[in-house]
Structure 1
Amino acid sequence: MQFEGTVLRGRDFEPVEGRVVVEDGIITAIEEADTDSTDIILPAFVNAHTHLGDSIAKEAGGGLSLDELVAPPDGLKHRLLRAASTEEKVAAMHRSLRLMEQGGTAACLEFREGGVDGVDVIRQALDGRDIEAVILGRETADAMEIADGFGASGARDAEFATLRNATAEAGKLFGIHAGERDAHDINPALDLEPDFLVHMVHPEPLHLERVADSEIPIVVCPRSNLVTGVGVPPVRELANRTKVALGTDNVMLNSPSMFREMEFTSKLADVSAAEVLRMATINGADLADLNYGLIEEGREGKLLVLDGDTDNLAGVQDVVRAVVRRAGLSDVKDVHL
Structure 2
Amino acid sequence: MVVEDGTIAAVEETSEADSTDLILPAFVNAHTHLGDSIAKEAGAGLTLDELVAPPDGLKHRLLRAASDEELTAAMERSLRYMQQGGTGAFIEFREGGVPGVRALSRAVEGLDIESVVFGRESIAAMEESDGFGASGARDSEFGREREATRKAGKLFAIHAGERDAADIDPALSLAPDMLVHMVYAESDHLARLETTQTPVVVCPRSNLVTGVGLPPVRKLLDHTSVALGTDNVMLNSPSMFREMEFVSKLTEVSAREILRMATIAGADAVGLNCGLIEEGRDARLLILDGGTDNLAGARNPVRAVVRRAGVSDVKEVIM
Aligned match of 1:255: 237
Query: 1:288: Cα distance to partner?
Result: 1.1
Displacement of 1:162 = 1.1
Q: Secondary structure at the match of 1:317?
A: coil
- SS of 2:3's partner is strand
How do 1:97-108 and structure 2 match up within 5 A? 97-108=79-90
- The equivalent position to 2:69 in structure 1, one of 87, 100, 108, is 87
Distance in 2 (CA, whole Å) between partners of 1:167 and 1:227 is: 32
1:126-170 superposed Cα distances (whole Å, 9 cap, x missing partner): 111111110100000000001000000000001201111111111
Deviation at 1:204, TM superposition (A): 1.5
Task: Name which of 173, 188, 192 aligns with 1:206.
Answer: 188
Matches of 1:186 and 1:178, distance apart in 2:
5
SS in 2 for 1:108: strand
Aligned Cα RMSD in Å?
0.6
Using the size of structure 1 for normalisation, the TM-score is 0.94
Whether 1:142 and 2:151 are equivalent positions in the alignment is no
- Please report how far the alpha carbon of residue 21 of structure 1 lies from its aligned counterpart in structure 2 after TM superposition: 1.0
The structure 1 residue matched to 2:11, chosen from 30, 46, 57, is 30
CA displacement 1:244-295 (0-9 Å, x = unmatched)? 0000000000000000001101111111111000000000000110011000
How does 1:298-309 map onto structure 2 within 5 Å?
Answer: 298-309=280-291
1:235 aligns with 2:217: yes
Indicate yes or no: 2:255 matched with 1:281: no
Cα separation, 2, equivalents of 1:202 and 1:275: 21
CA shift at 1:178, angstroms? Answer: 0.1
Of the candidates 122, 128, 137, which is equivalent to residue 104 of structure 2? Answer: 122
Q: Which secondary structure does the structure 2 equivalent of 1:202 belong to?
A: coil
Aligned to 1:3: none
1-side partners of 2:96 and 2:43: how far apart?
20
Structure 1 segments (4+ residues) deviating >6 Å: none
Give the deviation of 1:210 after TM superposition.
1.1
Check if 1:64 corresponds to 2:12: no
* Aligned partner letter, 1:30: V
Whole-Å Cα distance in 2 between the matches of residues 203 and 302 of structure 1? 33
Q: 1:182 offset after TM fit, Å?
A: 0.4
Q: How far off its partner does 1:29 sit?
A: 1.0
2:12 counterpart SS class: strand
C-alpha separation in 2, matches of 1:91 and 1:55: 9
Q: Secondary structure at the match of 1:159?
A: coil
Matches within 5 A, 1:159-178: 159-178=141-160
TM-score (norm 2): 0.99
Q: Give ranges in structure 1 of 5+ residues lacking alignment.
A: 1-19
Secondary structure of the residue aligned to 1:283 is helix
C-alpha separation in 1, matches of 2:178 and 2:109: 28
Shift of 1:214: 1.1
SS at structure 2 position matched to 1:245: strand
C-alpha distance in structure 1 between counterparts of 2:24 and 2:89, whole Å: 15
Q: Does 1:271 align with 2:253?
A: yes
Matched, 1:73 2:55: yes
Identity of aligned residues (%): 72
Instruction: Give the CA deviation at 1:238.
Output: 0.3
Name the structure with the higher strand share: 1
Structure 2: stretches of 5+ with no match in the other structure: none
